[in-house]
A and B are shown apart, each in its own frame.
Chain A
Amino acid sequence: ALVLMFPPLPRFRCLLQRCWQRLEGGLLPGFSGGQSLPWGPALGVQASAFLPQPVHDTNESNEAPSLLDSILWMAAPKKRRTIEVNRCRRRNPNKLIKVKTNIDVCPECGNLKQKHVLCGYCYAKVKAETRLIREEIHKQEGGPFNAPTVETVVLYDGEKPTEKDAGKRIIERARKRPSWFAQS
Protein backbone atom coordinates (compact mmCIF):
# COMPACT_ATOMS: atom_id res chain seq x y z
CA ALA A 1 0.00 0.00 0.00
CA LEU A 2 1.23 3.54 -0.71
CA VAL A 3 1.69 5.57 2.47
CA LEU A 4 2.22 9.32 2.08
CA MET A 5 3.58 10.88 5.26
CA PHE A 6 2.71 14.57 4.75
CA PRO A 7 -0.85 15.88 5.34
CA PRO A 8 -2.84 15.51 2.12
CA LEU A 9 -3.59 18.73 0.29
CA PRO A 10 -6.57 19.16 -2.07
CA ARG A 11 -4.56 18.01 -5.11
CA PHE A 12 -3.24 14.92 -3.37
CA ARG A 13 -6.66 14.13 -1.89
CA CYS A 14 -8.09 13.89 -5.43
CA LEU A 15 -5.13 11.72 -6.40
CA LEU A 16 -5.65 9.40 -3.44
CA GLN A 17 -9.38 9.13 -4.16
CA ARG A 18 -8.62 8.24 -7.75
CA CYS A 19 -6.03 5.66 -6.66
CA TRP A 20 -8.43 3.99 -4.22
CA GLN A 21 -11.22 3.96 -6.78
CA ARG A 22 -8.97 2.29 -9.28
CA LEU A 23 -7.79 -0.29 -6.75
CA GLU A 24 -11.37 -1.04 -5.77
CA GLY A 25 -12.24 -1.25 -9.45
CA GLY A 26 -9.46 -3.81 -9.73
CA LEU A 27 -7.05 -1.83 -11.97
CA LEU A 28 -3.33 -1.25 -11.25
CA PRO A 29 -2.46 2.43 -10.67
CA GLY A 30 -0.26 2.48 -13.75
CA PHE A 31 -2.74 0.57 -15.87
CA SER A 32 -4.62 3.21 -17.80
CA GLY A 33 -7.74 2.53 -19.76
CA GLY A 34 -7.87 -1.28 -19.50
CA GLN A 35 -11.05 -3.17 -20.21
CA SER A 36 -10.22 -6.68 -18.94
CA LEU A 37 -8.52 -7.68 -15.66
CA PRO A 38 -5.17 -9.56 -15.66
CA TRP A 39 -6.30 -11.54 -12.59
CA GLY A 40 -9.99 -11.78 -13.40
CA PRO A 41 -12.25 -14.57 -12.04
CA ALA A 42 -12.03 -18.03 -13.67
CA LEU A 43 -15.67 -17.80 -14.78
CA GLY A 44 -16.10 -16.62 -18.28
CA VAL A 45 -18.16 -13.57 -17.33
CA GLN A 46 -17.82 -10.29 -19.12
CA ALA A 47 -15.94 -7.86 -16.92
CA SER A 48 -17.85 -4.82 -18.14
CA ALA A 49 -21.09 -5.93 -16.38
CA PHE A 50 -19.35 -6.10 -12.97
CA LEU A 51 -17.28 -2.95 -13.18
CA PRO A 52 -19.27 0.17 -13.93
CA GLN A 53 -16.70 2.43 -12.18
CA PRO A 54 -13.66 2.21 -14.51
CA VAL A 55 -15.77 3.68 -17.33
CA HIS A 56 -15.86 7.00 -15.45
CA ASP A 57 -12.26 6.81 -14.32
CA THR A 58 -10.69 6.27 -17.76
CA ASN A 59 -12.29 9.54 -18.95
CA GLU A 60 -11.04 11.46 -15.93
CA SER A 61 -7.58 10.01 -15.62
CA ASN A 62 -6.61 10.61 -19.27
CA GLU A 63 -6.21 14.28 -18.37
CA ALA A 64 -2.89 13.90 -16.46
CA PRO A 65 -1.30 10.43 -16.64
CA SER A 66 2.24 11.81 -16.47
CA LEU A 67 1.54 13.58 -13.15
CA LEU A 68 0.46 10.33 -11.48
CA ASP A 69 3.44 8.42 -12.88
CA SER A 70 6.00 10.98 -11.81
CA ILE A 71 4.61 11.31 -8.26
CA LEU A 72 4.39 7.62 -7.53
CA TRP A 73 7.84 6.70 -8.96
CA MET A 74 10.19 9.39 -7.55
CA ALA A 75 13.82 8.76 -6.66
CA ALA A 76 14.34 8.27 -2.92
CA PRO A 77 17.21 6.92 -0.86
CA LYS A 78 16.85 3.23 -0.12
CA LYS A 79 19.05 3.01 2.94
CA ARG A 80 20.48 5.43 5.45
CA ARG A 81 24.04 6.46 4.60
CA THR A 82 26.29 5.21 7.38
CA ILE A 83 28.64 7.58 9.16
CA GLU A 84 31.62 5.73 7.63
CA VAL A 85 30.34 6.41 4.10
CA ASN A 86 29.53 10.00 5.05
CA ARG A 87 33.04 10.50 6.46
CA CYS A 88 34.62 9.09 3.29
CA ARG A 89 32.70 11.66 1.26
CA ARG A 90 33.25 14.62 3.60
CA ARG A 91 36.96 13.99 4.19
CA ASN A 92 37.90 13.22 0.59
CA PRO A 93 40.98 15.31 -0.33
CA ASN A 94 39.04 17.23 -2.97
CA LYS A 95 36.77 18.58 -0.21
CA LEU A 96 39.57 19.59 2.17
CA ILE A 97 40.81 23.18 2.05
CA LYS A 98 43.95 23.48 -0.05
CA VAL A 99 47.10 25.09 1.34
CA LYS A 100 47.77 28.43 -0.40
CA THR A 101 51.25 28.91 -1.79
CA ASN A 102 50.78 32.50 -3.02
CA ILE A 103 51.32 34.32 0.29
CA ASP A 104 54.31 36.67 0.55
CA VAL A 105 55.60 39.43 2.81
CA CYS A 106 54.97 43.04 1.79
CA PRO A 107 58.37 44.77 1.40
CA GLU A 108 56.94 48.12 2.57
CA CYS A 109 55.21 47.31 5.83
CA GLY A 110 56.15 43.66 6.54
CA ASN A 111 52.57 42.39 6.72
CA LEU A 112 51.42 39.36 4.75
CA LYS A 113 49.97 39.82 1.31
CA GLN A 114 48.85 37.64 -1.56
CA LYS A 115 51.08 37.85 -4.62
CA HIS A 116 48.41 39.11 -7.03
CA VAL A 117 46.66 41.43 -4.53
CA LEU A 118 47.68 44.77 -3.00
CA CYS A 119 48.88 44.71 0.60
CA GLY A 120 45.84 45.28 2.84
CA TYR A 121 47.67 47.43 5.37
CA CYS A 122 49.28 49.72 2.78
CA TYR A 123 45.97 50.04 0.93
CA ALA A 124 44.18 51.02 4.16
CA LYS A 125 46.86 53.65 4.83
CA VAL A 126 46.48 55.16 1.36
CA LYS A 127 42.69 55.00 1.62
CA ALA A 128 42.68 56.97 4.90
CA GLU A 129 44.94 59.69 3.49
CA THR A 130 42.85 59.90 0.29
CA ARG A 131 39.75 60.41 2.40
CA LEU A 132 41.33 63.36 4.19
CA ILE A 133 42.45 64.90 0.88
CA ARG A 134 38.91 64.52 -0.46
CA GLU A 135 37.53 66.27 2.64
CA GLU A 136 39.88 69.20 1.94
CA ILE A 137 38.68 69.28 -1.65
CA HIS A 138 35.04 69.36 -0.51
CA LYS A 139 35.82 72.24 1.86
CA GLN A 140 37.47 74.18 -0.94
CA GLU A 141 34.71 73.55 -3.47
CA GLY A 142 31.88 74.20 -1.03
CA GLY A 143 29.18 72.24 -2.82
CA PRO A 144 28.41 69.79 -5.62
CA PHE A 145 29.19 70.48 -9.31
CA ASN A 146 31.96 72.99 -8.44
CA ALA A 147 34.92 70.92 -9.67
CA PRO A 148 37.34 73.16 -11.63
CA THR A 149 38.50 72.19 -15.08
CA VAL A 150 42.20 72.28 -14.11
CA GLU A 151 44.45 69.67 -12.51
CA THR A 152 44.85 69.33 -8.76
CA VAL A 153 48.12 69.30 -6.80
CA VAL A 154 48.40 68.23 -3.15
CA LEU A 155 51.03 70.10 -1.11
CA TYR A 156 52.09 69.19 2.39
CA ASP A 157 53.83 71.18 5.15
CA GLY A 158 56.56 73.50 3.99
CA GLU A 159 56.13 72.91 0.27
CA LYS A 160 55.80 75.66 -2.26
CA PRO A 161 54.11 75.32 -5.66
CA THR A 162 56.73 75.08 -8.42
CA GLU A 163 56.50 76.70 -11.91
CA LYS A 164 55.10 73.38 -13.24
CA ASP A 165 52.07 73.80 -10.91
CA ALA A 166 51.24 77.21 -12.35
CA GLY A 167 47.58 76.92 -13.38
CA LYS A 168 46.64 73.98 -11.16
CA ARG A 169 44.30 73.90 -8.15
CA ILE A 170 46.30 73.53 -4.93
CA ILE A 171 45.09 71.47 -1.96
CA GLU A 172 46.95 72.03 1.32
CA ARG A 173 47.34 69.22 3.86
CA ALA A 174 48.62 70.15 7.31
CA ARG A 175 51.03 67.29 7.84
CA LYS A 176 54.39 65.98 6.73
CA ARG A 177 54.48 64.38 3.25
CA PRO A 178 54.07 60.58 3.64
CA SER A 179 57.00 58.54 2.33
CA TRP A 180 54.84 56.65 -0.16
CA PHE A 181 53.44 59.82 -1.80
CA ALA A 182 56.25 60.99 -4.05
CA GLN A 183 56.30 64.62 -5.17
CA SER A 184 55.98 64.88 -8.93
Chain B
Amino acid sequence: LCCFLIGNACVRGLLGWTRPERWLAASSFFPLSCIHTSCTALQRIGNWEKKNRIVYPPQLPGEPRRPAEIYHCRREIKYSKDKMWYLAKLIKGMSIDQALAQLEFSDKKGAKVIKEVLLEAQELAVKKHNVEFKSNLHIAESTTGRGRYMKRIRYHGKGMFGIMKIVRCHYFVKLVEGPPPPPEPPKTGFDQAKEYVQQLRSRTLVNTL
Protein backbone atom coordinates (compact mmCIF):
# COMPACT_ATOMS: atom_id res chain seq x y z
CA LEU B 1 0.00 0.00 0.00
CA CYS B 2 2.76 2.44 0.93
CA CYS B 3 4.67 1.64 -2.29
CA PHE B 4 1.55 2.47 -4.29
CA LEU B 5 1.14 5.77 -2.43
CA ILE B 6 4.80 6.63 -2.92
CA GLY B 7 4.58 5.77 -6.60
CA ASN B 8 1.50 7.91 -6.97
CA ALA B 9 3.14 10.80 -5.16
CA CYS B 10 6.24 10.53 -7.35
CA VAL B 11 4.15 10.66 -10.49
CA ARG B 12 2.27 13.72 -9.32
CA GLY B 13 5.47 15.46 -8.34
CA LEU B 14 4.54 15.95 -4.67
CA LEU B 15 6.09 14.77 -1.42
CA GLY B 16 9.77 15.30 -2.02
CA TRP B 17 10.77 13.30 1.02
CA THR B 18 9.22 10.04 -0.23
CA ARG B 19 11.44 9.73 -3.26
CA PRO B 20 13.78 6.81 -2.62
CA GLU B 21 16.77 8.31 -4.56
CA ARG B 22 17.01 11.04 -1.98
CA TRP B 23 17.47 8.64 0.93
CA LEU B 24 20.51 6.98 -0.64
CA ALA B 25 22.15 10.25 -1.60
CA ALA B 26 23.87 10.91 1.72
CA SER B 27 24.92 7.65 3.41
CA SER B 28 26.12 4.52 1.70
CA PHE B 29 24.00 1.37 1.80
CA PHE B 30 26.36 -1.05 3.61
CA PRO B 31 26.80 -0.39 7.36
CA LEU B 32 30.44 -1.57 7.41
CA SER B 33 31.70 0.92 4.86
CA CYS B 34 30.02 4.05 6.22
CA ILE B 35 32.58 6.73 5.45
CA HIS B 36 30.01 9.49 5.24
CA THR B 37 28.33 9.09 8.63
CA SER B 38 31.15 10.48 10.76
CA CYS B 39 30.02 11.68 14.18
CA THR B 40 33.25 13.28 15.43
CA ALA B 41 32.66 16.56 17.21
CA LEU B 42 35.21 18.36 15.04
CA GLN B 43 33.74 17.56 11.61
CA ARG B 44 29.99 17.33 12.16
CA ILE B 45 28.34 18.11 8.85
CA GLY B 46 25.70 20.75 9.51
CA ASN B 47 22.18 20.80 8.15
CA TRP B 48 22.88 23.67 5.80
CA GLU B 49 25.64 21.77 4.02
CA LYS B 50 23.36 18.77 3.63
CA LYS B 51 20.82 20.87 1.74
CA ASN B 52 23.13 20.86 -1.25
CA ARG B 53 22.78 17.07 -1.47
CA ILE B 54 19.10 16.84 -2.39
CA VAL B 55 18.54 15.49 -5.88
CA TYR B 56 15.25 16.13 -7.59
CA PRO B 57 13.91 13.66 -10.19
CA PRO B 58 14.18 14.75 -13.82
CA GLN B 59 11.59 17.35 -14.77
CA LEU B 60 8.76 16.49 -17.15
CA PRO B 61 8.81 18.22 -20.57
CA GLY B 62 5.94 20.63 -19.81
CA GLU B 63 7.17 21.87 -16.42
CA PRO B 64 8.82 25.29 -16.04
CA ARG B 65 12.52 25.08 -15.33
CA ARG B 66 13.35 24.77 -11.66
CA PRO B 67 15.92 27.48 -10.75
CA ALA B 68 19.20 26.21 -9.30
CA GLU B 69 19.67 26.64 -5.53
CA ILE B 70 23.07 26.80 -3.92
CA TYR B 71 23.49 26.59 -0.15
CA HIS B 72 26.76 27.79 1.34
CA CYS B 73 27.92 28.71 4.82
CA ARG B 74 30.95 29.50 6.91
CA ARG B 75 31.25 28.31 10.50
CA GLU B 76 32.89 29.81 13.59
CA ILE B 77 33.59 33.31 12.29
CA LYS B 78 35.18 35.50 14.98
CA TYR B 79 32.42 38.16 14.98
CA SER B 80 29.16 38.81 16.80
CA LYS B 81 25.98 37.33 15.36
CA ASP B 82 24.03 40.50 16.09
CA LYS B 83 26.54 42.69 14.25
CA MET B 84 26.72 40.19 11.37
CA TRP B 85 22.92 40.23 11.15
CA TYR B 86 22.93 43.85 9.94
CA LEU B 87 25.10 42.88 6.96
CA ALA B 88 22.99 39.81 6.26
CA LYS B 89 19.86 41.99 6.30
CA LEU B 90 21.53 44.46 3.93
CA ILE B 91 22.15 41.92 1.18
CA LYS B 92 18.93 39.92 1.51
CA GLY B 93 17.11 39.95 -1.84
CA MET B 94 19.86 41.69 -3.82
CA SER B 95 21.54 40.38 -6.92
CA ILE B 96 24.99 38.96 -6.25
CA ASP B 97 26.81 41.79 -8.06
CA GLN B 98 25.02 44.46 -6.10
CA ALA B 99 25.68 42.58 -2.85
CA LEU B 100 29.40 42.30 -3.62
CA ALA B 101 29.54 46.04 -4.43
CA GLN B 102 27.84 46.99 -1.15
CA LEU B 103 30.06 44.70 0.90
CA GLU B 104 33.25 45.93 -0.74
CA PHE B 105 32.67 49.48 0.46
CA SER B 106 31.26 48.62 3.88
CA ASP B 107 33.55 49.40 6.81
CA LYS B 108 32.50 46.42 8.92
CA LYS B 109 34.75 43.44 9.71
CA GLY B 110 32.05 40.96 8.74
CA ALA B 111 31.73 42.50 5.27
CA LYS B 112 35.06 41.03 4.19
CA VAL B 113 34.08 37.58 5.44
CA ILE B 114 30.67 37.65 3.76
CA LYS B 115 32.25 38.79 0.50
CA GLU B 116 34.58 35.77 0.56
CA VAL B 117 31.65 33.47 1.27
CA LEU B 118 29.66 34.92 -1.64
CA LEU B 119 32.56 34.54 -4.04
CA GLU B 120 33.06 30.93 -2.94
CA ALA B 121 29.36 30.24 -3.38
CA GLN B 122 29.41 31.81 -6.85
CA GLU B 123 32.31 29.58 -7.84
CA LEU B 124 30.54 26.50 -6.50
CA ALA B 125 27.44 27.47 -8.43
CA VAL B 126 29.28 27.70 -11.73
CA LYS B 127 31.41 24.59 -11.27
CA LYS B 128 29.11 22.12 -9.52
CA HIS B 129 25.53 23.29 -9.78
CA ASN B 130 25.20 23.86 -13.53
CA VAL B 131 24.69 27.62 -13.38
CA GLU B 132 25.33 29.20 -16.75
CA PHE B 133 25.98 32.86 -15.88
CA LYS B 134 27.67 33.74 -12.62
CA SER B 135 25.88 37.11 -12.52
CA ASN B 136 22.45 35.55 -12.91
CA LEU B 137 22.25 34.72 -9.19
CA HIS B 138 20.40 36.45 -6.42
CA ILE B 139 20.46 36.03 -2.66
CA ALA B 140 17.29 34.31 -1.53
CA GLU B 141 18.22 33.80 2.12
CA SER B 142 21.05 35.12 4.25
CA THR B 143 21.12 34.54 8.00
CA THR B 144 23.51 34.33 10.92
CA GLY B 145 23.71 31.82 13.70
CA ARG B 146 25.44 31.63 17.06
CA GLY B 147 28.76 29.80 17.13
CA ARG B 148 30.52 28.26 20.13
CA TYR B 149 31.14 30.86 22.85
CA MET B 150 34.10 30.72 25.23
CA LYS B 151 34.05 32.33 28.68
CA ARG B 152 37.08 34.19 29.94
CA ILE B 153 37.86 36.42 32.93
CA ARG B 154 38.15 40.14 32.36
CA TYR B 155 40.06 41.88 35.13
CA HIS B 156 38.67 45.18 36.45
CA GLY B 157 40.15 47.54 39.01
CA LYS B 158 40.08 47.00 42.78
CA GLY B 159 40.18 43.22 42.50
CA MET B 160 36.86 43.03 40.69
CA PHE B 161 36.38 40.78 37.74
CA GLY B 162 33.83 40.11 35.10
CA ILE B 163 33.21 37.11 32.91
CA MET B 164 33.46 37.98 29.24
CA LYS B 165 32.25 35.90 26.34
CA ILE B 166 34.45 35.33 23.27
CA VAL B 167 31.78 35.37 20.63
CA ARG B 168 31.67 33.56 17.30
CA CYS B 169 29.01 33.21 14.65
CA HIS B 170 28.05 31.24 11.56
CA TYR B 171 26.89 32.77 8.30
CA PHE B 172 24.46 31.01 5.94
CA VAL B 173 23.57 32.06 2.41
CA LYS B 174 21.29 30.60 -0.27
CA LEU B 175 21.82 31.69 -3.86
CA VAL B 176 19.11 31.10 -6.43
CA GLU B 177 19.54 31.39 -10.18
CA GLY B 178 17.64 34.15 -11.91
CA PRO B 179 17.13 37.89 -11.47
CA PRO B 180 16.19 39.13 -7.98
CA PRO B 181 12.45 39.24 -7.27
CA PRO B 182 10.87 42.74 -7.37
CA PRO B 183 10.51 44.27 -3.89
CA GLU B 184 7.07 44.05 -2.32
CA PRO B 185 5.21 47.36 -2.22
CA PRO B 186 4.67 48.49 1.38
CA LYS B 187 1.23 47.79 2.86
CA THR B 188 -0.94 50.89 2.72
CA GLY B 189 -3.58 51.80 5.28
CA PHE B 190 -6.24 51.26 2.63
CA ASP B 191 -5.13 47.64 2.13
CA GLN B 192 -5.16 47.01 5.85
CA ALA B 193 -8.64 48.49 6.14
CA LYS B 194 -9.88 46.34 3.24
CA GLU B 195 -8.47 43.22 4.93
CA TYR B 196 -10.14 44.14 8.20
CA VAL B 197 -13.51 44.62 6.52
CA GLN B 198 -13.06 41.29 4.69
CA GLN B 199 -12.33 39.57 8.02
CA LEU B 200 -15.47 41.01 9.55
CA ARG B 201 -17.58 39.94 6.57
CA SER B 202 -16.26 36.37 6.58
CA ARG B 203 -17.39 35.73 10.15
CA THR B 204 -20.09 33.07 10.49
CA LEU B 205 -22.57 32.38 13.25
CA VAL B 206 -21.65 29.29 15.27
CA ASN B 207 -24.07 26.84 16.95
CA THR B 208 -27.13 28.38 15.33
CA LEU B 209 -29.59 27.38 12.61
Is A64 part of the contact surface with B, judged by Cβ < 8 Å? no
Q: In the assembled complex, which residues on chain B have CB atoms less than 8 Å from the CB atom of A6?
A: 160
Q: How far is the CA of A64 from the CA of B83 in the complex (A)?
A: 45
Within 75-103 of A, Cβ neighbours of B (below 8 Å) are at 90, 95-97, 99-100, 103
What is the interface size of chain A, counting residues whose CB is below 8 A from a CB of the partner? 11
Is B201 part of the contact surface with A, judged by Cβ < 8 Å? no
Of B82, B87, B102, which is in contact with the most chain A CB atoms at under 10 Å from its CB? B102
> A97 and B87: CB pair below 8 A?
yes
Is A126 part of the contact surface with B, judged by Cβ < 8 Å? no
Least CB distance from B138 to A in Å reads 15
Interface of B is mostly: helix
Q: In the assembled complex, which residues on chain A have CB atoms less than 8 Å from the CB atom of B104?
A: 103, 112
> A96 and B89: CB pair below 8 A?
yes
> B158 and A100: CB pair below 8 A?
no
Least CB distance from B112 to A in Å reads 14
Q: Which residue of A lies closest to B82 (CB)?
A: A90
> A99 and B105: CB pair below 8 A?
no
Q: Which residue of A lies closest to B158 (CB)?
A: A9
> B105 and A114: CB pair below 8 A?
yes
> B105 and A103: CB pair below 8 A?
yes
Least CB distance from B111 to A in Å reads 9
Once A9-B158, A90-B82 are accepted as A-B contacts, the answer to whether A97 and B101 lie under 8 Å apart by CB is: no
Is B90 part of the contact surface with A, judged by Cβ < 8 Å? yes
> A96 and B90: CB pair below 8 A?
yes
> B105 and A100: CB pair below 8 A?
yes
> A97 and B105: CB pair below 8 A?
no
Q: How far is the CA of A166 from the CA of B86 in the complex (A)?
A: 60
Q: How far is the CA of A95 from the CA of B87 in the complex (A)?
A: 12
Please list the residues of chain A having a beta carbon within 8 angstroms of any beta carbon in chain B. Answer: 6, 9, 90, 95-97, 99-100, 103, 112, 114
Please list the residues of chain B having a beta carbon within 8 angstroms of any beta carbon in chain A. Answer: 82, 86-87, 89-90, 101-102, 104-106, 108, 158, 160
16 contacts between A and B (CB under 8 A): A6-B160, A9-B158, A90-B82, A95-B86, A96-B90, A97-B89, A97-B106, A100-B102, A100-B105, A103-B101, A103-B102, A103-B104, A112-B101, A112-B104, A112-B105, A114-B105
